[in-house]
Structures are given as structure tokens and as C-alpha cells.
A and B are shown apart, each in its own frame.
Chain A
Amino acid sequence: MTQTVSRPTGAQPAPLPLDVEAIRADFPILTRTVRDGKRLVYLDSGATSQKPRQVLDAERWFYENVNAAPHRGAHQLAEEATGAYEAARATIGAFIGAPEREIVFTRNSTEAINLVAYALSNAATAKEEQFRRYAVGQGDEIVVTEMEHHANLVPWQQLCERTGATLRWLGLTDDGRLDLSDLTTVVNERTKLVAVTQQSNILGTINPLGGIVARAREVGALVLVDGAQSVPHQPVDVAALGADFLVFSGHKMLGPTGIGVLWGRYEVLDALPPFLTGGSMIEVVRMEGSTFMPPPQRFEAGVPMTAQAIGLGAAVEYLQGLGMDRVLAHEEALTGYALAALAEIPGVTVVGPPDTVARGGAISFTVEGIHPHDVGQVLDDLGIAVRVGHHCAWPVVRRYGVPATTRATFYVHTGYDDIDALADGIRAAQKFFGTV
């Protein structure tokens, strides 16, 4: 049996919206080789993205020229560090259409979600009346979906265990979409918060959030949107979103590790008690007790991740330079090309929506007769970096009856050549394990 086709049949694919060669030149890591001289084909941006030189330069600039603890000290460096840190907050806020005071810096999306979950349980025991408004307790319900990353599931399970609230969830359809048929019963007058991802990290599905937000509004529930896989890949505007919270991670959007964002509607943030406490977030401290700063400082205890925030600001400027509409169109083109390429390989099954409708560039798949780990190992041997396993979304792989999947994710430096390499690599795995 011969399999020489490495491109989807039909016309040559349309030119990609982004200039892949020019973009690759900005990413130093893409010039290295792996596994005995192979070109690095990086298809794991969904786990963490690579960083362009502009981001690395911004961090180096900060440490070499400005380094000081922001919001402390009266010296020139402290002033400049504070200015650079707050300028990054403004840049990142503008990227999602939010004012600076609604941008809270966290370590990552996971910490941002935990911040909200702990604030909601801390609210129940807060001595300050103003912090009790959103308290979660017995009889209340928290709603998630079966599609969530563990980061948007486990903190809510834990919140329910701490408070006696009940966790409910929306299920999935066979083609990888949210099953909204029971939305009005799952989200009801007992619901205090709905936590939902905008784009699945494993299925690639882009969720229709409008109906969920509208239902949550009807019953007076808060809405938290996990934007870890959407904010890096599509234009997101918090006003259009209509939610109360949006979280995302810097390292998945060309920024450094150790910096993430919690966006919160100001009046909601202002009514929440702190999660982590200590320096920076206080107003007055006496031995008998303390009062706290307004948001966002209330939620930023300790010397912050200053260089990382500045690096994320540079990443946002880089993405704005490309244009998020074009980033989205680029990934849509790649996704269509990849789905067609995988459909041509016998034994390959995509887990998730089979077309590009409301679907982002995360493609999970199985290869008949070969465990995903073994697929990933053959790909790695060819220089192709993918993710294998349950992708921190164990309930999803369980829902679709597979132990694990292989996942390819795309970003601004991904080109058709990377996807051709992936398709050829899958065929090589089939040949190696003798399944074709």
C-alpha cells in the first residue's frame, strides 16, 4: 500500500493571512533543531506558546534599565517601574476593551480562577458587610461544563466542598459541542456562578456564550469565561462578551510564564474580599486588623510579576501589530487545511467538531491501533512537537470513550508546511507500528 499524498487533494490552498516566514524570523527558538538536526515543527502552542524576540527584549529592557519594586519607594527606578507596570496594565486592558482598574494580574488563568473561587467562599465569612454580597453557601449552585480544562473545574469542585454548594454541569454532544438543551434547568435561580470556556483546549470548539450569558443574567448568576484558549487566538471584547469575569494566561499568547489576567466587572470586583493577603493590597494595617485597597490592588498581594507583565504588554502589542482578525483568519485557514489533511489518512479520527464552523486551531485525534503516546513519540522523532494525553480535560476524553488523544495546536508562526509534516508523521507512525 502506498501513501504518498501529503496535501489535501484539490486546489492549492489559499495564501495564509499572515506572513509566516517573516513571523518565524521573530522567534529565535524556531531556528534551533531537535532530535539530530530536524527542523522544529512546534504544534504545541496550546500548552505554551513560543516567545518572539520583542517579548524577550522587553523583559531584558526592564531588568537592565528599570528594575525596582513597583508601588513602593520614592526613588526614580521605583517610579519608572511603577509606570512601566501600569502601562502594561493599560495596554493589556485595551486589548480586551477593558479599563485598567478592571485588570488584575495573576500568575496564570488557574490562579485567576482560584482567586474568584476563594473570594466567593471568603465572602461567606467576611466581617465587612460590603464583601458578603456574592457569598456562596449551602443551597447555592455553581455551573460548569463537561468541556472545561481542569483549571476551570477543580477550583469549583473545591469551592462547593468548602461551602456546601452544589456543582452542576452542561454536557456535550457527540460532535464536540456544548449540549444546551437543558440550559434553563441547569442554570436556575439557585445558580450563583456559571464558569465556561470560550474555546475548548482539547476539542477546539468555540462556544456560543451569548445564550449562556443571557440565561445567567435572567437568574442573577455571575459568569466567568475561561479565555485561556480564546484571547490568544481571536478578538475578544469584554463589553460584547457580557460576562463578569474573563481569565487568560500570558504564556499562551506569546508572553512570559508567570503572568496571567483576571478581568472583572469593576462593581463585582469591588464587592469581593481578597484571596491572597499581605503587602501592596492593604490600606491601613493595625495589630487588631487591616483594611484593603480597592481593585485591582486588593487582589495583588506582594511584589508583583513586573517584568512578566511588561513582557505580556509587549506580546499584546505584537499581536495587535498582526491584527487579531488576521490571527483568527490565519488559524481558520490552517484548521481547514489540517482537518482535510487528517481526513485523508485512514484510521485517523478527529475528536471534536469535524469542520471549521465555530472551531479554533486545536485538533485532537486518535490513530487506530496506536496509542497517542506512541504517535507522539514518532512525531517527536521527526522534530514535531505535539501534546499527548488527556490535556488536563480528563472528563472530555472519558466522554468520547478514548483513553487519550494526540493534539496539534496552531499559532501565528504555523504554516501549511507544519501541517504537511504532521500528516507525513502520522503516516510514518502507522508504518512504524505496522497498522497500515
Chain B
Amino acid sequence: MQLQSMYQEIILDHYRNPHGRGLREPFEAEVHHVNPTCGDEVTLRVHLDGDTLADVSYEGMGCSISQASVSAMYELVIGKSVPEALATGEHFMTLMQSKGDAAVAEELEDELEDAVAFAGVSKYPARIKCALMSWMALKDASARALSVTHPATPSGGQA
């Protein structure tokens, strides 16, 4: 059975006991992302303190991979600045594109902590979207939250 390589115990733990689940106040932005091929959904809120992610709260439904991914992401990004969190997201994207290359996972272990357990998912193209959905939602919500808290000052070039 190859299944254990995808369903690492850490992933199943996050799935059964999700961290940070539930929608909380206050928040500056809320987004709803779906995976149209399978119906997985996540609603995600971002609360910023300056440019630090003070809270990321979420509700979702979907497969074990999508739900465990958002839980592991929560643990990784709370307290980070938005640029740091997005950089972590880029590392996660790299892991998802690694096609199961153990060297890539090893290199990213420090940055990704629990989330490095998702390396096995990268061997299954149909499931990569499940793992990435919450990170896409975070990127979207962070950009929206920043545009609320740090409105761009009109520049001369804009109409």
C-alpha cells in the first residue's frame, strides 16, 4: 500500500483534531474558496495587527487532505508577517510541485514544520489542489485585508 505515504499520521491528526477551526471576530477580510472539481470549500478570515497575522480563522468542508492542510497552515502562519506567511506558502507550493522528491521535502523541513508531511500528496496530481486550496484562500484574504488596513495612496498615474 502506497497510501501511508500520502496519509501521514500527522495529516490524519490534523484532520481529526483541526487546529484553529471556527470563524472568529475581529477580521478585516473574509474569502470563500471552492475546488470546483470536487466541491471542497473553505471560508477563511484574516485579522491583521499591523502587517502581522494576528488570527486566521476558518470553516470548511472537504476531504482529509484539504482539511488537514488548512489546520497545518494555521499553525504555521499565526504571528508571521504577511510577506513571511506568503513566502511559506511559496515553499508549500514548491513542495506540492516536487512529485515526491524526498530531497525537496528535506530542504523545506524547517520552513514547513508539520506541513512537510504533505510531501506524499505531491505524487498525486488530483489531490494537490486539495492541499493548496487553503493557501490560495490565505493569499487572497491577506491581500484584501492589507488593502483595508493599508489603503494604497493614489499616485499620479492613476485616474
Chain A positions near chain B (C-beta within 8 angstroms): 35-36, 371-374, 377-378, 381, 388-390, 394, 397, 403-404, 432-433
* Nearest A-chain residue to B67, judged by Cβ: A371
Bound CA–CA A404/B41 (angstroms) = 11
Chain A residues, CB < 8 A from B7: 374, 432
B120 to chain A, nearest CB (A): 11
Taken together as a complex, chains A and B put the C-alpha atoms of A373 and B65 apart, in Å, by: 9
Asked if B62 is an interface residue, CB under 8 A from chain A, the answer is yes
Partner pick for B39 among A36, A378, A397, A432, CB 8 A cutoff? A397
Interfacial chain A residues near B62, Cβ < 8 Å = 371, 373, 403
- Establish whether residues A373 and B1, one from each chain, have CB atoms under 8 Å apart when the complex forms: no
In residues 23-65 of chain B, which contact A (Cβ within 8 Å)?
37-41, 61-65
Partner of B63 from A35, A36, A374 at Cβ < 8 Å:
A374
- B1-21 vs A, CB cutoff 8 Å, 1 = contact: the mask equals 111001100001000000000
Nearest-Cβ distance from residue B14 to partner chain A, whole angstroms = 14
A373 close to B130 (CB less than 8 A) = yes
Q: How far is the CA of A388 from the CA of B39 in the complex (A)?
A: 10
A389 touches B37 (CB 8 A): yes
B99 at the interface (CB under 8 A from A): no
Q: How far is the CA of A174 from the CA of B1 in the complex (A)?
A: 38
Q: Are A377 and B124 in contact (CB under 8 A)?
A: yes
Q: Which residues of B contact A378 (CB under 8 A)?
A: 3
Selected from B3, B41, B127, the residue in CB contact (under 8 A) with A373 is: B127
The verdict on A432 contacting B63 (CB below 8 Å), with A373-B127, A377-B124, A388-B38 known, is no
Q: Which residues on A sit within 8 Å (CB–CB) of B130?
A: 373
**Pairs A–B under 8 Å by Cβ, sample size 13:** A371-B62, A372-B63, A373-B63, A373-B127, A373-B130, A381-B1, A381-B2, A389-B37, A390-B38, A390-B39, A403-B39, A404-B39, A433-B12
A404 to chain B, nearest CB (A): 5
Is there contact, CB below 8 Å, between B2 and A35? yes
Q: A371-B62, A381-B2, A432-B7 are in contact. Are A404 and B38 (CB under 8 A)?
A: yes
Q: Are B38 and A373 in contact, with the CB atoms below 8 A?
A: yes
How far apart sit A433 and B63, CA to CA, in the bound complex (Å)?
A: 12
Distance between Cα atoms of A52 and B75 in the complex (Å)? 51
Distance in Å from the Cβ of B85 to the closest Cβ of chain A? 26
Give the distance in Å from the alpha carbon of A374 to the alpha carbon of B67 in the complex: 12
Bound complex: CA of A11 vs CA of B7, how far in Å? 39
Interchain CB contact under 8 A, B38 and A389? yes
A374–B7 CA distance with the chains assembled, in angstroms? 10
CB <8 Å contact, B3 and A377? yes
What A residues does B127 contact at CB under 8 A? 373, 377
**A407: shortest Cβ distance to chain B, in Å?**
12
Taking the closest CB of chain A, its distance from the CB of B127, in whole angstroms, is 7
Q: Which residues of B contact A390 (CB under 8 A)?
A: 38-39
In the complex formed, the residue of A with least CB distance to B65 is A373
CB under 8 Å from chain A, chain B span 103-149: 124, 127, 130
Known: A371-B63, A403-B61. A381 touches B39 (CB 8 A): no
The answer to whether B39 and A377 touch across the interface, beta carbons within 8 angstroms, is no
Give the complex CA separation of A426 and B124 in angstroms. Answer: 20
| A36, B123: Cα distance in complex, Å | 14
Q: How far is the CB of A164 from chain B (nearest CB, A)?
A: 28
Q: A388-B38, A389-B38, A389-B39 are in contact. Are A374 and B2 (CB under 8 A)?
A: no
Query: How far does the alpha carbon of A8 sit from the alpha carbon of B50 in the complex, in Å?
Result: 63
* Given A371-B63, A403-B62, A377-B38 contact (CB < 8 Å): no
**Contact yes or no, A377 B6, CB < 8 A:** yes
Q: Which of chain A's residues have a CB closer than 8 A to the CB of B124? A: 377
State the CA gap A372–B126 with chains docked (Å).
Answer: 13
- In the complex, what residue of chain A is closest to B38 when comparing beta carbons? A389
Contacts of A371 in B (CB 8 A): 62-64
**Chain B residues with CB under 8 A of A377:** 3, 6, 124, 127
By a CB distance below 8 angstroms, the chain B residues around A403 are 39-41, 61-62
Apart from the given pairs A377-B127, A403-B39, 17 other A-B contacts in the complex at a CB distance below 8 Å? A36-B2, A371-B63, A372-B38, A373-B40, A373-B63, A373-B65, A374-B7, A377-B124, A378-B3, A381-B1, A388-B38, A390-B38, A394-B39, A403-B40, A403-B41, A433-B12, A433-B64
CB distance from B100 to the nearest CB of A (A): 14
Residue of B nearest to A378 (CB): B3
Residue among A35, A371, A390, A397 with the highest chain B CB neighbour number at 10 A: A371
The CA-CA distance from A374 to B12 in the complex, in Å, is 11
Residues of B within 8 A of A381 (CB): 1-3
List chain A residues, Cβ under 8 A from B12: 433
